Structure 1
């Protein structure tokens, strides 16, 4: 892993030097007159590509850009109308339909108004797990928020969405509609 990071750092450095060299200018003296001329761009030296990660059998393991093999019951949930000040939660459930053990490695909410919880133990083939999204219904109005789920079986993240409308209690003024000036 350290070698991969160093190789990526070397590639990034070489690209920066290449771009820097293309942008430099120099002053050239021609028959007593100083003029500014752009340096001739030279191709960047070849940089050896970072080595691919090795699979257990020693072959190169490509990045897995296919979606995760787990099956979600749903990926969007609409709460409908919820009361202001009362957080609303929904459990997104999934089943491991792969032949390997799955581990959720990260769950990230779109903003601080949504809290998350998820199955943190490994999910064996045929077993189920959950990702819980809790929306803090602090402000009246409609909302649509996403939760991004990362698993160990794919480099493609799963996006879950919660939607709804927060209703202000009776007697509380509703927010004024937005106006364009």
Structure 2
């Protein structure tokens, strides 16, 4: 069993995110809708870096805030919008995978934490095959 807890209010107020976006009633939560939750980078050679862009839309009734993105290992990095995304607006999350010292079939998880109501996170996957040099 895995239990996670944190005080989001203090953390995100320090980043300039208004408390009103964090502690709101259920009518004011956002929803993140990704075009694709699973991406495959195909076949690459060991040592190559791959850039993958996950496009999404805020389909909820309130501005979307991505609080954090957790990656499966140190071989991936992510860049995302740190300010609220207005309703019905689109944006993207960029993930870079470094295949150094990797071989064979790969599957990496990217967990996106946001200000949703029923779901407060979305799990994305990145797969591909790395051929030895």
Match of 1:142 among 100, 105, 114: 105
1:75-119 CA-to-partner distances (Å, cap 9, x unmatched) read 000111012111111010101111211110000101111111111
Given that 2:51 and 2:95 are in contact with CA atoms closer than 8 Å, whether structure 1 keeps it comes out as: yes
Structure with max Cα Rg: 1
Give the structure-2-normalised TM-score. 0.73
The equivalent of 2:38 in structure 1 is 76
Unaligned runs of 5+ in 1: 6-54, 170-181
1:99 and 2:70 equivalent? no
Larger relative contact order (Cα-Cα within 8 Å, sequence gap ≥ 6): 2
Asked if 1 retains the 8 angstrom alpha-carbon contact of 2:50 and 2:98, the reply is yes
TM norm structure 1? 0.54
RMSD of equivalent CA atoms: 2.2
In terms of fraction of residues, the more strand-rich structure is 2
The 4+ residue runs of structure 1 with deviation greater than 3 A are none
Matched with 1:117 is 79
User: How many residues in Structure 1 have an aligned counterpart in Structure 2?
Assistant: 108
Which structure 2 residues correspond to residues 1-181 of structure 1 after superposition, within 5 A? 69-138=31-100, 139-154=102-117, 155-169=119-133
Q: Tell me, in whole angstroms, the C-alpha distance in 2 between the residues paired with 1:152 and 1:164.
A: 30
Report deviation, 1:153.
Answer: 2.5
